[in-house]
Structure 1
Amino acid sequence: MSNINKRLEKIIQNSVDKLLEKGFGRYSKYVIQQRALPDVRDGLKPVQRRILYAMHSLGLTNDKAYKKSARIVGDVIGKYHPHGDSSVYEAMVNMAQWWKMNIPLLDMHGNVGSLDDDPAAAMRYTEVKMAKIANYILGDIKKNTVNFVPNFDDSEIEPEVLPSILPNLLINGTKGIAIGMATEMPPHNLGEIIDAAIAKIKKPSLTFDELSQIVQGPDFPTGGIIHGNKGILEALDIGKNNKEKIRLFSRYNVFVKGKNKFIEITEIPYGVIKSSLVYEIENLASNEQIDGFIEVKDQSDRNGISILITLEADANENSIVSYLYQKTSLQVFYNYNNTVILNNSPITANLMLLIESYIDHVKDIKTKTLQYDLAKNQLRLELVLGFIKVSEITDQVIKVIRKAQGSKAGVIKDLMEFFEFSLNQATAIAEMKLYRLSKTDKEEFLKEKAFLEEQISKINLLLEDSKAFNKFIINALLEIKKEFATERKTTILADEYEFNYQKTDLIKAEEVIIGISKHGYLKRISQRVADANDFANYVLKEEDYLIHYEKANTLNQFLIITNLGNYALIPVYQIQECKWKDLGMHLSDFVDTKPSEEIVSIIEVSNWESNVFVVLGTKDGMFKKTPLKQFQVSRLNKTYTAMTLAPGDLVVNACLSNGTKDIIIITKNGLSSKYSENELGLYGPKAKGNKGIYLSLSDTVNNFTIAGSDDVITFITDDGFLKKMRSKKIPIVPKNIKGKAIFKDHFKNTSFNISDIYPTRDTDMLLIKNQSGNTFLDPIKKYSFSQANPELIEITVDNLYKVKIKKNYQTQDLEIHSKELFDAKNLEQEQKEFRLTESNLDNLESDLDKLLAKVNETLSKIKK
């Protein structure tokens, strides 16, 4: 029992949330400080620092032979880095890749990967040593310049930071994700950073504006062009570009060879995988029509990047490049996030703080190096003075040594007692062999004494005189610049890039045939395919039927209006070319649609600025007229409101108009209403409109059309009958009065609906589908006025299923598009209205005179 109580006493009770909070806090601190973020002083993450120190310990400097990477990885994980070998080897490979670091710190022999994201060879195959520039990171490590701390199991010691005098953090950049924070620092140009540091040393009060004149911005190892410097200036000033974006573009040149034009991409954005970029371009070209694009090839080799895009001779290369910039990784955004460890805490550092921290670290390292060299030279001078003294009394010294009793300590004691040597001098003499003492060359030591005194004097001057010390630092930095600085690879332009292309610039203008069905299937067919196939075999779903089958230009757009009052804009070029027996693309492939949504009207738009209108009407009699240009939108992947509907109401049709014609409306009960379309209200797309026809409670609008007075109107009933009538014979009925019947009396009791109505010519056709699923084109001219039944003519097709008039609403129609006609007819209408108003005023004036006369007559009678 006592043993159980003792054990219970050792149990510590604590809540899980407190344990998790404490444990995760320690873990996050470790990840932030010991894994993901670089130290601002040497610009290295812990794994990078441990790799370099392990290689230094193995003596793998740039002038030595390569050593197996696996050996170094083993040393690193065995002595310093308590993590997996793959992470260490990956870090090692990154430090050797020229496309990730401006100046690689390691020189790796073998396959180190590629810009195509190919993995490096396994570590058992590659060999590595430090690059020459690494000497400036580890050169003074043996001079007590940095603190050493125990490793993870206290069996070794490792440097807390490396004595780097290289601005590694700024010239090579870094990237890492910690807990709750991340870092993303781009590489910069070594020459610019050294110049900035020198300017700051010379002028401590250097302003940011002055500093930004020296450091232009990032200098990526893969080159490229940055358009716009606002984001760069913001990032250099605060350590992040929060408001302004940094756009990095590929570099290219254009040349003509033979019958083709070529775009050669020679530099790609930093971090972009070359093979993925080539695939992006190929995929875009195959899915999108790019006029003049032939192929893209990656012909890069050890001499550099070369992605060759082959174009046709007349292709618009500027529009194609601009389009590829916008749609592929030929242009990317880069975001600064200068999060670093400073004084054991993560901070976001701007350029000024990074330069100051670098200078402070270099000064600290050089001060400790000088102090170490001073102590070493002073010790050596002390010994040299002793050796000079020995050379003058060699025999006496040898005699004392021979007579000395006991050990080495006795010799040292006697030398100090008889000749007044210091402890260091006596120790050095005691350790020398007698034959060397007898051959001491006084002249040689005198020369060394003079040299040492000069060195000590110089070091003391550097340590005591800040100006001399600063000059010493500047010279050290200039030495690095002279040996390793290169020309800037990334060009920075102050002006933003303008995407100067229209999508139509990339589309080849050609005539194609577009078929569209009631249920929303769109099919694009070449004229060659259409001519080679039987129209009767046009593929449709069982209950679907064609409502549009016309030629269209690939540069135009279809304005598609649905029964639910929505509209969508579908560019013709986006409709995929199909085989004759393909069903085609559905409207929902372009925009979101509802199951009950059906197409009621299709308008081909080539010019949004034309003076035309879209007239919309609903089954409940709401009508409106909207300028076509108000349907133009920039986003084409969604539906928009063409007309706001009351609950249960549906759009029955939408017609194109120039604003000078009449509207003819047919109701379910066979009544017609006709009046000038100028009486329709002008509304925006989202408006409801107003009442366009008087309807009884049992009646609804079947259909309507817009027509001129000389047009022949063709009516189609849903049970397969046709009627032709000249527009001028249809009586004018104001919209606030009940419509008039335009069919014979004996048809009043026959149940039928006018399923289609359109002004037609003899060249127009009917789109007919039979019960067997076959589709036909039937010429309208064969149904003439002179047939036996002048009212309703039965369409002569066996097993008839559906009939639609083959309409073709196009904004380029001369009659609709002509501004002169539009203005002339409007003027005529205005003059007519003016004459009517003038006449009404004359009549009103006459009536008023008669009324006043009667009033005067009545007043006279009252007076009498």
Structure 2
Amino acid sequence: MAEETGGLTPGRQSIIPINIEDEMRGAYIDYSMSVIISRALPDVRDGLKPVHRRVLFGMLELGVNYNKPYKKSARIVGEVLGKYHPHGDASVYDTMVRMAQDWSLRYTLVDGQGNFGSIDGDSPAAMRYTEARLRRIAEEMLADINKDTVDFQPNFDDSLTEPSVLPAKIPNLLVNGSSGIAVGMATNMAPHNLREVIDGTIAYIDNNEITIPELMKFVTAPDFPTGALIYGYSGVQEAFLTGRGRVIMRAKAEIVTSSTGKDQIIVTEIPYMVNKAQMIEKTAALVNEKKIEGISDIRDESDREGYRIVYDLKKDAIANIVLNNLYKYTQLQSSFGVNNVALVKGRPMTLNLKDMIKYFVEHRHDVIVRRTKFELAEAERRAHILEGYLIALDHLDEVISLIRNSKDPETAKDGLMTRFGLSEIQAKAILDMRLQRLTGLERDKIQQEYKEVKELIDRLKDILSNESLRMQIIKNELADIRDRYGDERRTTVIHSDEDITLEDMIPNEEMVITISNQGYIKRTSLSEYRTQGRGGVGSKGVSTKDDDFTEHLFIAQAHNYLLIFTDQGKVYWKKAYEIPEGNKTSKGRAVQNLINIEPGDAVRAIINVKNLTDEQYINNNYVILCTVKGTIKKTSLEAYSRPRQGGINAITIHEGDKLLNASLTNGNNHIIIAKSEGKAVHFHESDVRPMGRMAAGVRGVTLDSETDTVIGMVCITRADANLLVVSENGYGKRSLTDDYRITKRGGMGVKTLNITDKTGKLVAIKEVVDEDELMIINRSGITIRIKVSELRVMGRATQGVRLIKLNDDDRISSVEKIQQIVEVKNEGSDGLDSTTRPIVHTESSISEQDIDDTPDNDTDEPENDDTNNHDTEQQ
């Protein structure tokens, strides 16, 4: 505390005690508000800080318009410093320089001549060497400023006035963005495409209730002056919705092969605000430190035509890996932290996309109203004078006589006002009138001008009384700006894995997925396979090596999950559309490149799952697994609902055994397991209790001999379905499901096909109906597609009929059912034509009452129920 030491004496001031905390608090608040309002934050209306506004206004006052000669930058800086901005000359010059750099502003406002720096961080030449003038688009920011459209305030010494805001025909805050650090807050606003912003603004004017997502159909994303890519859309959405977000920017890079045969990465566009020279220098340091490998040389080949950075790769380098490392460790990928803080009526606010457009439209509306009032006053003033002219012309001789007889102009003025009822302004105008205006032609011009001015007055009054008309004027002016200055986007938006759902972009079509014996996988459009008659030769389906053949064939829809089971009992997850696409004759891609399958393991079965997020679905469906040695296991689908990159164990496989098949069931299905020796066992799914993923399962069927194996498992889903069996030599048949009596699991089964040397061993068993079709592939890759309806129903112990003609050394490797394809009328609101889809039946209509424990009289051999063994879980 300061203390008063004495009374007042002449020439001395009193000392007032002040609490230092209060003084510092008040002073700091004053300082911070001065920085916020008068230095660091842009105004929401014109998107400019005071220094930018003063530079543009100073250049206008100096007369350096776009169509006038350039003036020295030092002259412009001196004009702005002396009249409006009493700070260091560097601040003014740096501001003007940045407004002239096409890599700093999306739409530059200053036309610079000379060295204005570079994207490598080179400083501009001194202001005495460079010249500048306004760009035409900058004059749109200043248009109508002399028509009382904005408020003017005194400059720093009250000798002049300066605008507090510019009329701003263009939405500059969105178009060019802004950045600044105030006290306790900061702003960082991204630039956008002028054409998109104006389209969005017009859409807002048409519908003030428009939502931000609807606005984003027009203003899609920031548009940076250096182009490049926006990687991921979630940050853009967040910024538009909240005013804050993180936009990831990536350089535009292309992988090419040089004339020497080596790969190169060519970068032609870099992220916004990245110093190119520093980026290359830091990248070279990372290469030398071995943090980025595979690069042999880096060259900057940029010129006046554009940017070009060349990364030469080593011979053994994988270009995509090197590029991803460059994105990860260098500024080829950087982020722009959007923080839309601007001054709204003198207060800092965080603004979303709609807010910025709304405040700009309000500003333009205010400008239109003030401009119209100004023009109306001018028009009325002119109409008043023209009315005086017309009165004088109507009494021309009297006016001339009065003026001639007056001793001085003042007497003449008073005489005109008294004699003809004119105002002082009219009287002065008549006295100032040139004699040539008295001719007949000039009289007609005055009358025509008066008519036009009256029409203008009526139109201006109409504008002032009609808000929709004012909004139409704003739209028309914006459309004119868009047509004259709008351009295409420079920055491309690409979606990252985190924020895009590929299903939205991929049609949910049916596809054929094939896997060869040696593990090559592909997907092919179902339409590539044409229907043939029974017994046909078939069409070429898969090109494989001599020792390879197609072993698995699966029909799925693009959006489905595929659960991929391997010989050793592991399960992996893949979306159907993630399988590489190929035509009928292509080889496919090694499955090891798609999933992390262990060495020595092989894909054995695939099941088609609708989704893994619907709790009711995954808790009420089960996966039934069957092994070659006859073990069966049932597990809830929920146990497989959490995909992992490396897969998980689905069943414990004993030595000498391997997984054969997997099926999805609803908990109430019947199961038929067939063996290569031609027998099958039929039991209800409830005979198999649900187990955990790591369990080994229980016995499903007893094998006849050491050479006997399980060749297939069918889960019955329809009461009207038949069982189709196919032998390796191309014979097959349909039999009634009722021919297979229901027993307990674990038995030896009954005969399903009369096995002979002619038929060969059993290779497949399927559930079919008349509307289904079959696709059969043999080891040489030949395919045939036939209709099930062409096969008549036979007894289960017969030999069957020939399905496909085989060469002597060929065998059938895979049989797959294609479900009925029907035309289904789309009843959606989009009015699409009819589309095709499969009819899928999942409910089993066989009940527990159908189970018959009586002996089967048709069997060639007695059935062994093996009741003593089948209930023991295989540990």
Shift of 1:457: 2.3
Counterpart Cα distance in 1 of 2:419 and 2:162: 46
TM-aligned CA deviation for residue 396 of structure 1: 1.5
1:215 aligns with 2:219: yes
Residue in 1 that maps onto 2:480: 479
CA distance in 2, matches of 1:497, 1:122: 47
Aligned partners of 1:165 and 1:361 also within 8 Å: no
Q: How does 1:55-74 map to 2 (within 5 A)?
A: 55-74=59-78
- C-alpha distance 223-2 of structure 1, shift in aligned 2 (>3 A): closer
Shift of 1:409: 3.2
Equivalent residue, structure 2, for 1:175: 179
Q: CA deviation at 1:80?
A: 1.1
Rate the CA distance shift 1:129–1:9 in 2: closer, same or farther, 3 A: closer
1:191 maps to which residue?
Answer: 195
Worse overlay, 304-313 or 219-228? 304-313
Determine which of 371, 388, 391 is the counterpart of 1:389: 391
User: TM-score, with normalisation over the residues of structure 2?
Assistant: 0.55
Matches within 5 A, 1:416-565: 416-434=417-435, 436-437=437-438, 441-496=442-497
Alignment equivalent of 2:21, drawn from 17, 37, 56: 17
**Cα distance between partner residues in 1 of 2:247 and 2:61:** 41
Deviation for aligned residue 1:119: 0.4
Contact 1:101 1:172 in 2 (8 A): yes
Task: Say if 1:290 and 1:4 are closer, same or farther in 2 by CA, change over 3 A.
Answer: closer
Task: Classify 1:9/1:279 alpha carbon distance in 2 versus 1 (closer, same or farther; 3 Å).
Answer: closer
Paired with 2:418 and 2:302, the residues of 1 have a C-alpha distance of 79
**Counterparts of 1:294 and 1:101, CA distance in 2:** 35
In 2, the alpha carbon distance for the partners of 1:291 and 1:480 equals 49
Residue type at the aligned position of 2:214: E
In 2, Cα distance between equivalents of 1:9 and 1:454: 67
Q: CA deviation at 1:309?
A: 1.1
Q: How does 1:704-743 map to 2 (within 5 A)?
A: none
* 8 Å CA contact retained: 2:39, 2:49: yes
> What corresponds to 1:304 in structure 2?
306
Distance in 2, Cα, partners of 1:227 & 1:152: 46
Give the gaps of 5 or more residues in structure 1: 499-606, 612-864
Verify the 8 A CA contact 1:80 1:158 in the aligned structure 2.
yes
Query: Partner residue of 2:258?
Result: 257
The residue type paired with residue 395 of structure 2 is I
Q: 1:358 aligns with which of 357, 360, 364?
A: 360
- 1:398 aligns with one of 397, 400, 413: 400
Distance 1:409 1:46 in 2: 48
429 and 212 in structure 1: CA distance in 2 versus 1, 3 angstrom threshold: same
Instruction: Give the Å deviation of 1:170.
Output: 0.7
- What amino acid sits opposite 1:390 in the alignment? A
Q: Measure the CA separation in 2 of the matches of 1:270 and 1:368.
A: 38
- What letter matches 1:424 in structure 2? I
C-alpha distance in 1 between matches for 2:370 and 2:93:
33
What one-letter code is carried by the residue in structure 2 that aligns with 1:102? R
* Equivalent AA in structure 2 for residue 106 of structure 1: V
Asked if structure 2 preserves the Cα contact closer than 8 Å seen for 1:462 and 1:472, the reply is no
Q: Does 1:369 align with 2:364?
A: no
Q: 1:388 to 1:368 in 2, by over 3 A?
A: same
Report deviation, 1:385. 2.5
Q: Could you say which residue in structure 2 is the equivalent of 1:335?
A: 337
Q: 2:109 aligns with which of 102, 105, 110?
A: 105
SS in 1 for 2:217: helix
The answer (yes or no) to whether the contact 2:192–2:221 under 8 Å persists in 1 is: yes
Q: Which moved more, 1:102-111 or 1:443-452?
A: 443-452
How do 1:401-412 and structure 2 match up within 5 A?
401-406=403-408, 408-412=409-413
Q: How do 1:604-753 residues align onto structure 2 when only pairs under 5 Å count? A: none
**DSSP 3-state at the match of 2:44:** coil
SS state of the match for residue 308, structure 1? strand
Q: Return the alpha-carbon distance in structure 2 between the equivalents of residues 369 and 62 of structure 1.
A: 23
Q: Equivalents in 2 of 1:59, 1:362: separation in Å?
A: 25
Match for 2:386: what amino acid? V
The aligned residue for residue 652 of structure 1 is none
- The CA deviation at 1:6 is 5.1
Structure 2 residue 273 is the aligned partner of structure 1 residue 278: no
Shift of 1:291: 5.1
Q: Give the corresponding residue for 1:229.
A: 233
The alpha carbon displacement at 1:194 in A equals 0.3
Contact 2:143–2:169, Cα closer than 8 Å, also in 1: no
Q: Are the structure 2 counterparts of residues 289 and 184 from structure 1 closer, same or farther at C-alpha, using a change threshold of 3 Å?
A: closer
Of the candidates 65, 81, 84, which is equivalent to residue 85 of structure 2?
A: 81
Report how many residues are paired.
499
Q: Determine if contact 2:295/2:312 at 8 Å carries over to the other structure.
A: yes
The answer to whether the Cα contact below 8 Å between 1:297 and 1:307 also exists between their aligned partners in 2 is: yes
Q: Secondary structure, in 3 states, of the residue corresponding to 2:244? A: coil
Q: Does the 8 Å CA contact 1:394/1:438 hold for their aligned counterparts?
A: no
Letter in 2 for 1:107: D
1:742-798 Cα shifts (integer Å, max 9, x gaps):
xxxxxxxxxxxxxxxxxxxxxxxxxxxxxxxxxxxxxxxxxxxxxxxxxxxxxxxxx
Q: Structure 2: any 5+ residue segments left out of the alignment?
A: 500-595, 601-875
Mapping 1:116-195, distance limit 5 Å: 116-195=120-199
For the 8 Å contact 1:387–1:440, the answer to whether it is kept is no
Does 2:207 correspond to 1:203? yes
Question: What secondary structure does 1:222 align onto?
Answer: coil
Q: Does the 8 Å CA contact 2:147/2:374 hold for their aligned counterparts?
A: yes
Q: CA deviation at 1:421?
A: 2.2
Deviation at 1:411, TM superposition (A): 2.0
What CA distance in whole angstroms lies between the structure 2 residues aligned with 1:218 and 1:445?
Answer: 53
1:91 aligns with 2:95: yes
Q: Distance in 1 between matches of 2:104 and 2:127?
A: 19
Residue 338 of structure 2 aligns to a residue whose secondary structure is coil
Could you tell me how far apart the structure 2 residues matched to 1:429 and 1:404 are?
Answer: 14
- How far residue 433 of structure 1 moved from its aligned partner, in angstroms, is 4.3
**Distance in 2 between the 1:476 and 1:435 partners?**
39
Report the CA distance shift for 1:417/1:440 in structure 2 as closer, same or farther (over 3 A): farther
CA contact (8 A) 1:141 1:162 kept: yes
Q: Which structure has greater helix proportion?
A: 1
Specify whether residues 275 and 199 from structure 1 end up closer, same or farther in structure 2 by C-alpha distance, changes over 3 A only: same
Aligned partner of 2:504 in structure 1 is: none
CA offset at residue 172 of structure 1?
0.5
Kindly state the Cα deviation for residue 392 of structure 1 after the two structures are TM-superposed: 2.9
Post-superposition offset of 1:386? 2.2
Q: Deviations over 1:54-113 (max 9, x none)?
A: 111111110111111111111111111121001111111011111110100100110000
- 3-state secondary structure, aligned to 1:236: helix
Change (3 A) 1:434 1:492: same
How big is the shift at 1:440? 7.2
1:714 paired residue number: none
Tell me which structure has the larger Cα radius of gyration.
Answer: 1
Q: Which residue of 1 aligns with 2:325?
A: 323
Q: 1:336 to 1:424 in 2, by over 3 A?
A: same
The one-letter code sitting in structure 2 at the alignment partner of 1:205 is E
The residue that corresponds to 2:823 in the other structure is none
Q: Which residue of structure 2 lines up, in the alignment, with residue 48 of structure 1?
A: 52
DSSP 3-state at the match of 2:339: coil
Identical aligned pairs, as a percentage? 40
Q: 3-state DSSP class of the match of 2:372?
A: helix
Q: Secondary structure at the match of 2:279?
A: helix
Does the 8 A contact of 2:287 with 2:293 survive in 1?
A: no
Superimposed CA distance per residue, residues 584-614 of structure 1 (whole angstroms, 9 cap, x where no aligned partner): xxxxxxxxxxxxxxxxxxxxxxx99999xxx
Once the two structures are TM-superposed, the CA of residue 313 in structure 1 deviates from its matched residue by 5.0
Distance 1:273 1:363, change over 3 A: same
Instruction: State the alpha-carbon separation in 2 of the partners of residues 325 and 235 from structure 1.
Output: 23
